C-alpha cells in the first residue's frame, strides 16, 4: 500500500546474477526504493532465469547480469540470452546490471533491445531510477556507461572491435574453446576462429597472453 492508503499493484521483478552477494544487494536496493516492488524469483544463471520465466510467476521487469559463464548451454549467457528474452517475452522490461565496460559490448546490449543498462558500481539511486524509467517506457543508461559510450565515439582512429568480435574475445578469455564458443553462439567454428583472429589482428596482438592483457584493460576479462 502506498502513502495515502491507495492500493497499487507491486512491480514483479526477477533477478539473475551468479553472485549471491549481488543478488542480496540488488534485493535490498529495490526494497528501499520509492516504488512498490515484489521480488518474485531469483536465478543464479541464464538457464535458470529462462526456466523461471517460462514456468514461474509472472514478471514485469528482469534485472540480469550480462556475463554468467556458468550457463554452459546455448542461449543462456551474454547477447544470446538477451535476444532470447526479447524474442520469447517481448513485453518484458529488461535491465542489464553489469561490470562490463567495453563500448562494443555495451552497444551490442543496447542493439539487442534491452531497456536499461546500469554498471554495478553505480550509486543505489541509479538502479532505482532505471526501474522507474523502463516501466515508464523510457530507456535508461547509467551515467558512467553513458560516459564510456560517448568517450569511445569521440576518439578518432581508435581500434574498435565489432560486437561479435568483442563477444568472442569475452568468452575466450573466460576459458571457452573456439568450438565451445561456436556452440554457445550458434555459429560455425570457422566463423568464430575468424572473428577471434580478426580481433587479434585489429588489436595488434600476437598471442593469447597479449589478448588476455587487452581483455583485462578493456572490461572483457572476468
pLDDT at 214: 84
pLDDT at 116: 97
Helix 163-173 to helix 208-217 angle (10° resolution) is 110
Q: pTM for the whole thing? A: 0.81
Scanning the structure block, which residue is given the C-alpha cell 510467476?
57
3 state SS for the chain = CCCCCCCCCCEEEEEECCCHHHHHHHHHHHHCCCCCEEEEEEECCHHHHHHHHHHCCCCCEEEECCCCCCCCCCCCCHHHHHHHHHHHCCCCEEEEEECCCCHHHHHHHHHCCCCEEEECCCCHHHHHHHHHHHHCCCCEECHHHHHHHHHHHHCCCCCCCCHHHHHHHHHHHCCCCHHHHHHHHCCCHHHHHHHHHHHHHHHCCCCHHHHHHHHHHCCCCC
Question: Is the distance from CB of 132 to CB of 112 less than 8 angstroms?
Answer: no
pLDDT at 193: 95
pLDDT at 4: 44
What is the number of other CB atoms lying within 10 angstroms of the CB of residue 108? Answer: 21
The residues of the chain scoring below 70 in pLDDT are 1-8, 69-75, 153-159, 219, 222
What is the number of other CB atoms lying within 10 angstroms of the CB of residue 158? Answer: 10
pLDDT at 75: 56
Q: Determine the Cα–Cα distance for residues 74 and 47; give it in Å rounded to an integer.
A: 9
pLDDT at 6: 41
Domains with residue ranges and CATH for the chain:
11-153 (3.40.50.2300), 163-217 (1.10.10.10)
> What pLDDT digit, counting tens, does each position of 26-37 carry?
998 888 877 889
Q: Compute, in degrees rounded to 10, the torsion defined by CA atoms 177, 67, 82, 200.
A: -50
Amino acid at each position: 500500500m502506498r502513502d495515502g492508503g491507495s492500493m497499487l499493484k507491486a512491480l514483479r521483478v526477477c533477478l539473475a546474477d551468479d553472485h549471491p552477494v549481488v543478488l542480496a544487494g540488488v534485493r535490498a536496493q529495490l526494497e528501499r526504493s520509492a516504488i512498490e516492488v515484489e521480488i518474485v524469483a531469483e536465478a543464479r544463471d541464464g538457464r535458470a532465469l529462462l526456466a523461471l520465466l517460462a514456468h514461474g510467476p509472472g514478471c514485469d521487469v528482469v534485472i540480469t547480469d550480462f556475463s554468467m559463464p556458468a550457463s554452459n548451454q546455448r542461449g543462456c549467457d551474454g547477447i544470446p540470452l538477451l535476444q532470447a528474452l526479447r524474442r520469447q517475452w517481448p513485453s518484458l522490461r529488461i535491465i542489464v546490471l553489469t561490470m562490463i565496460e567495453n563500448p562494443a559490448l555495451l552497444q551490442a546490449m543496447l542493439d539487442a533491445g534491452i531497456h536499461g543498462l546500469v554498471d554495478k558500481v553505480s550509486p543505489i539511486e541509479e538502479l532505482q531510477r532505471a526501474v522507474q524509467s523502463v516501466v515508464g517506457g523510457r530507456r535508461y543508461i547509467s551515467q558512467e556507461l553513458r560516459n564510456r559510450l560517448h568517450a569511445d565515439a569521440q576518439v578518432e582512429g581508435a581500434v574498435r572491435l565489432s560486437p561479435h568480435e568483442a563477444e568472442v574475445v569475452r568468452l575466450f578469455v573466460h576459458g571457452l574453446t573456439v568450438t565451445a564458443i561456436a556452440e554457445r553462439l550458434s555459429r560455425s567454428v570457422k566463423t568464430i576462429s575468424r572473428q577471434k583472429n580478426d580481433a587479434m589482428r585489429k588489436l595488434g596482438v600476437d598471442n593469447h597472453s597479449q589478448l588476455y592483457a587487452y581483455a583485462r584493460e578493456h572490461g572483457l576479462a572476468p
